[in-house]
Amino acid sequence: MMLQEEQFIPKPAEILEVNDMTSIEKLFRLKLMDEELERSFNYMPGQFVQVSVYGVGEATISICKSKTRPGPLELLVRRVGRVTNALHRLKEGDIVGIRGPFGNWFPVDEMEGHDVLIIAGGLGIAPVRGVLQHVLDNRGKYGEVNLLYGVKGYEETLFKDEVLSPFRGESGFRSFISFEKDDEFYENLMKKYPEFVKKGVVTVLFDLADSYIDPSNSYAIVAGPPVMYKFVLKELEKRNFPADRVYVTLERRMRCGVGKCGHCIIGGASSIAYVCKDGPVFSYFDILSIRGAI
C-alpha cells in the first residue's frame, strides 16, 4: 500500500541545466533533491516519468538518456500545451516534481548478440536515444547498429552531434538521414553521402540501408509520430522481420503513469491494454492483437 501511495507523490528535483534544441524543444537536466533517492533512481531505455510544474499541472515525459551514461536525468520537452509551456519558462535552479520511473522498457538484454535497427521520426528520437546509448556503451555485446532517422530539416534535427557523428567517423553505428523540406545542409550532405542521406520520409531510407540489415538476426526499435508506424511496420513486414523482434513505443498515449485515469487504454473488450501499465513498449506481435493500437 505504501508503495502505491508513493507513486502519487512527486519528489522535488532541481533543474541543473536547460538547453534549446530547436525552436519548440528543450533539453532539461535534473537532479532529485533527496540524495538517497537520487542515488537509487534507476531506469531503463523506454521508461518515462511524470513531471510536475507546481501550480500548473503534470506532464508525461520519456527519459531520453541511458543509465549507462554518467550525469543527471535528461528529459527532452516539446512545447505543446499548458504544462510544457510552463516547463519551457523555467530555468536553472527552479524546482519541479518527479514521479516514476514508470512503464516497461526496450528489451536491451534480450537484444544482446543481435544486430539493432533503430527507426525514429522527429521527436521519436528521444525515447530511443537511451537504447542507442546503452548499445554503444556495451558495444561488444551487439552486432551491427543502424539508425534510420527522419526529420523535416537541419533546424528540426534533435541531438545533432550524436545522430550526425557517423558522418565524422566518430561512432560505432551507421546513421541514415531523411529530410523532407528544402535544406541546404542536408542537400550538401546528400551530395557527399548519397548512400546514407535521402530526401523524403523515413521509409525512403530502407532501400539505402537494406544491404546492411539482416532481418534474420536483428531487433527493430521504432518510435515517432503515430502516422509513421503503419508505414514503417509495413516495410519491416516486407523484409520478413519477425513480429516478436520488432518493438514500438506508444509513449504519446501515456497519461497518469499508473493506469488510474484510464486515458491510456487501447484495444477492445477482449484485448484491452493500459499503455502506462502494460507499456509504453510493445512488441509488434503483441499490438497485432490490440485493436486500434497503431
Residues within the annotated binding site for [2Fe-2S] cluster?
Answer: 256, 261, 264, 276
Distance of CA 85 to the CA centre of its chain: 21
Output Rg (C-alpha) for the chain, integer angstroms. 19
* Cell numbers given for 187: 542537400
Q: What is the DSSP string of 143-171?
A: --EEEEEEES-STT-SSHHHHTGGGGT-S
Residue (of 124, 200, 199, 196) closest to 166 by Cα position: 196
Q: What is the dihedral of CA 113, 118, 123, 129, to 10 degrees?
A: 30
Residues contributing to the annotated binding site for FAD: 76-78
Please report, for the chain, how many H helices and E strands are present, in that order: 10, 15
Q: Which residues of 45-72 are buried (b: 16+ CB within 10 A; e: fewer)?
A: bbbbbbbbbeeeebbbbbbbbbbeeeeb
Q: How far apart are the first and last CA of the chain?
A: 34
Residues contributing to the annotated binding site: 76-78, 256, 261, 264, 276
